[in-house]
Chains A and B, each alone.
Chain A
């Protein structure tokens, strides 16, 4: 049987604003491939993003979507999930968006375990505003607002996501279409808060890492290290090491699913409460609580 939707059905007419050769084109392609593979109705998909180069993703898709405020994609996505649990919700934004201005929302969305797939396109800088240090930039990174070098250590987003009790924590690489598709597909299948860090260097401002230079260094921890994502201790240990790839130019870059477990989602907990109140109370009966 012919599939109902092909990859192209998920693309809007809008051309991305990304620079030529940007690693984000790959993420966009992977997303549409996975949507088509799963044959999700475009009108049952809600792709929510913040502000920044990566957040333009929403506009490039032909699904429903909200291109929101800087750092605020998660609360908006949560609102749509809470009132319509049948929607597939994907949140896409950058490292600055999720982990600088929006980090407060990340903690709570992960902890509450909303069923959504959260994709952080991590280029370790603010690119749209033309090169400033982000929480994931390395120490000493020279951004336009840190001309003498960034003074804080980078945030380990994988370790952080596990600490926030995200129930699916993974990392993939924008240079590997297949790995991205596999990871996004698993993220969408996971029932709960699926966090996916995509290593996606900025071809314009990043003078050290490129897709080509990083590519040979990728090591899938599940395949090559037989990492078991159900083992939390091992997951944390792997996450702690995941930041070390800046140590040298040939240090391995671990990717794969670091941590996955299954606990009820926030939406499921709400459904439980709703089940207990099956009969919808009329307005008149609610009023009785206040009668004289």
Chain B
């Protein structure tokens, strides 16, 4: 895992765009883990793609990691991982098929030079760096950075292992197999570039938005948000609180919101299930609160570290009754920052819960980000009424306004008090359950979000074909991390001559009906790509717009790859053409 970080850091120092996606089992140690490092000249669209080099350090990696392999992939495999059994068979099979494959005695090199097999991934890193023409300096610096808290002894051991790898590559791998990566000047603007995980970007987004109270309960893969905020909040003058469960976490967030501050909690699917009753309460009492769901593959414990987008319906429709909520999904690490800021702005403006749907891959992937992506976002604060001599009595907290919203009064700040209640109420928050009062308040609450598609900045991102003279083959839609992967698939399909338009919603709910009706009118063949079994966003569009899209889905714990999406789209287009 750390080898991926080091390679990413070294590449970034060389001036490349770099991303690392991690996949690992739900253990403290052990099991088969993988780091997928993307190094690119221009910012990569998709963090997932075909593998140029696969370095398999275990037989598991060698046998199981086939998702990103192509016939052109250069495979390096630890000698002991293909010594016998299935490993030996696979090695023979691949060689016979003409795959470029090298057996590398990584373990042996690690033991002989650094005296420890635990350091084998650093040997592999040396080999990889050499094949990429990186030069040892950047890697050495990155190794020193990665182990800076572990002492000079370990840094020195790693340096030895790194050099052993570099030397081995020079002696054993013919130059023709080296990747020709354009030489670049090392960049000096390190201060203005940041290496962030999706979860960290969410945390920073919360701070930038003005959040001063964060509360959560530990859960994979969302804990990173809390780990970041527990430290940053204190430094920033706020409070981070570990609650006894997810119910208490959202409860405390709502209590803090009532007391006047911007609040957030982060969780994953099981936690979102527990929060449903309080989400309904926040809708009913109309208090701003942000809930981040770093989705993992469910139901039940499911696959706690694995990728999925299967909480969409839970985010939108979970819980009893009908309450107004907003659901937003970032597609990149940069958007984890901006979507969180947007979530706070929406919560404050519309006075209702806002759910940010991230996922395990997006939350834990690391990416190099420019400062400009994190600078001075627009911030909206709630409308607070402090009280005046002519304050109407009783105070109408839930007045039937055209916008549906009213100013809030804050304990200790405003002289005008009110009691928030989850019971249906009238304008002055008195319990009231006559049909007339019920209808008036239901309509008022839903009126708030009636125009959100028009009021929000870029609720969807369009990617249209430049000329509209030739009919389209298909129009595409995808959301969350899958949108980033889909963009790359579409680029390659366009290269093949397919004409495709696409829309990527950031606001998932309320559904952007205007945009999606327009989208439906572009082409009769519509496809929604997402990482869940039942095609949830696809179904949502069928339910609430003119669109009649086909689902293209995957639910396996690993994200789609661009070639898979391209193949899926091609197959749907061809099937439709034949029909």
Chain A residues within CB distance 8 Å of chain B? 12-14, 42-48, 51, 58-59, 61-69, 72, 74-84, 86-87, 104-105, 107-108, 270, 273-274, 277, 280-281, 283, 286-292
A290–B200 contact, CB under 8 A?
Answer: yes
B236 at the binding interface (Cβ < 8 Å)? yes
Tell whether A76 pairs with B251 under 8 Å between CB atoms, given A290-B195, A290-B200: yes
Using Cβ atoms and an 8 Å threshold, which residues of chain A touch B416?
43
Chain B residue numbers with a CB within 8 Å of A274 are 234, 237
A66 to B414, CA, bound (A): 16
- Which residues of chain B are near A84, meaning CB under 8 Å? 259-260, 411-412
Q: Does A79 contact B417, Cβ atoms closer than 8 Å?
A: no
Contacting pair B213 A83 (CB below 8 A): yes
User: In the complex, are the beta carbons of A80 and B258 less than 8 A apart?
Assistant: yes
A51 and B423 CA atoms in complex are apart in Å by 10
Interchain CA distance A274-B236 in the complex, whole Å = 10
B contact residues, range: 35 or more
How distant is B307 from chain A, measured CB to nearest CB, in Å? 23
| CB nearest to B9 among chain A residues | A292
A67 and B278: CB pair below 8 A?
no
Q: Which residue of B lies closest to A75 (CB)?
A: B251
A contact residues around B207 at 8 Å (CB): 283, 286
Sample (29) of A-B pairs whose CB atoms are under 8 Å apart? A43-B412, A44-B412, A46-B411, A59-B419, A59-B431, A65-B417, A65-B418, A65-B420, A66-B258, A66-B421, A67-B420, A68-B251, A69-B251, A69-B277, A69-B278, A72-B248, A78-B252, A79-B259, A83-B213, A83-B259, A83-B261, A84-B259, A84-B411, A274-B237, A287-B204, A288-B191, A290-B196, A292-B9, A292-B13
In the assembly, what is the distance between CA of A109 and CA of B233, in Å? 22
Asked if A76 contacts B252 (CB within 8 A), the reply is: yes
B213–A79 CB distance below 8 A: yes
Partner pick for B255 among A47, A48, A59, CB 8 A cutoff: A48
Min CB gap A64→B, angstroms = 4
6 new A-B contacts at CB < 8 Å, known A72-B247, A82-B213, A274-B237:
A43-B411, A66-B258, A72-B248, A82-B252, A277-B235, A292-B193
**Which residues of chain B in 237-262 are interfacial with respect to chain A, using CB atoms and an 8 Å cutoff?**
237, 239, 241, 243-245, 247-249, 251-261
Which residue, of B13, B254, B423, has the highest number of chain A Cβ atoms within 10 A? B254
Q: Are B237 and A64 within 8 A (Cβ)?
A: no
Asked if B419 contacts A66 (CB within 8 A), the reply is yes
Nearest Cβ on chain B to A154's Cβ, whole angstroms? 24
- Knowing A44-B411, A67-B419, A69-B281 touch, does A79 contact B263 (C-beta < 8 A)? yes
B419–A283 touching, CB < 8 Å: no
Q: At the interface, yes or no: B232 with Cβ under 8 Å from chain A?
A: yes
Q: Assess whether B380 is interfacial by the CB under 8 Å rule.
A: no
B236 CB to closest chain A CB (Å) equals 6
Of the candidates A59, A82, A83, A274, the one having the most CB atoms from chain B within 10 angstroms of its own CB is A83
Q: B164 within 8 Å of A by Cβ?
A: no
Task: State in angstroms the CA–CA spacing of A83 and B241 once bound together.
Answer: 11
Distance between A14 CB and nearest chain B CB, rounded to angstroms: 6
Q: Take A43-B411, A59-B431 as given contacts and tell me if A82 and B256 are in contact as well, using a CB distance cutoff of 8 Å.
A: yes
Nearest chain B residue, comparing its CB with the CB of A278: B237
CA distance A277 to B235 in the complex (A): 6
Task: Say how far B537's CB is from chain A's closest CB, in angstroms.
Answer: 30
B196, B411, B422: which contacts A64 (Cβ < 8 A)?
Answer: B411
Cβ-based interface call for B385 (8 A): no
A43 to B371, CA, bound (A): 43
**Contact status B12-A76, CB under 8 Å:** no
- Asked if B212 is an interface residue, CB under 8 A from chain A, the answer is yes
Rounded to whole angstroms, the CA-CA distance of A286 and B234 in the bound complex is 11
Q: Is B394 part of the contact surface with A, judged by Cβ < 8 Å?
A: yes
Given contact pairs A108-B248, A286-B235, A83 touches B422 in the complex (Cβ within 8 A):
no
B278 to chain A, nearest CB (A): 7
In the assembled complex, B430 has its CB within 8 A of some CB on chain A: yes
A42 in contact with B417 (CB, 8 Å): yes
* A14-B430 CB under 8 A given contacts A58-B419, A79-B259, A292-B194: yes
B278 — which chain A residues lie within 8 A by C-beta?
69, 72
Q: Quote the shortest CB–CB distance from A12 to chain B (angstroms).
A: 7
Q: Are A80 and B411 in contact (CB under 8 A)?
A: yes
With A42-B417, A82-B239, A273-B234 in contact, do A69 and B422 touch (Cβ < 8 Å)? Answer: yes
Given contacts A43-B411, A76-B251, A104-B245, contact A83 B239 (CB under 8 A): yes
- CA of A58 to CA of B257, assembled, Å: 18
Residues of A within 8 A of B421 (CB): 58-59, 66-67
CA A288 to CA B420, docked complex, whole Å: 41
Q: Which of B191, B244, B245, B261 contacts A291 (CB 8 A)?
A: B191
B208 contacts partner chain A, Cβ-Cβ < 8 Å:
yes
In the bound assembly, the distance between CA atoms of A78 and B232 in angstroms comes to 21
**Which chain B residues border A108 with CB–CB below 8 Å?**
244, 248
Cross-chain contact A292 with B412 (CB below 8 angstroms): no
- B316 contacts chain A at the CB level, 8 A cutoff: no
Closest-CB distance, A118 to chain B (whole angstroms)? 14
Contacts of B36 in A (CB 8 A): none
Least Cβ–Cβ distance between A114 and chain B, in angstroms: 10
In whole angstroms, how far apart are the Cα atoms of A222 and B107 in the complex? 74
Nearest residue in B to A46 (C-beta to C-beta)? B411
Residues of B within 8 A of A292 (CB): 9, 12-13, 190-191, 193-195, 368
Q: Which of B186-200 contact A (CB under 8 A)?
A: 190-196, 200
Q: Which 7 A-B pairs have the closest CB atoms?
A: A79-B255, A75-B251, A79-B252, A76-B255, A75-B248, A79-B256, A67-B421
Interface-centre pick from A14, A58, A62 (highest chain B CB count, 10 A): A14
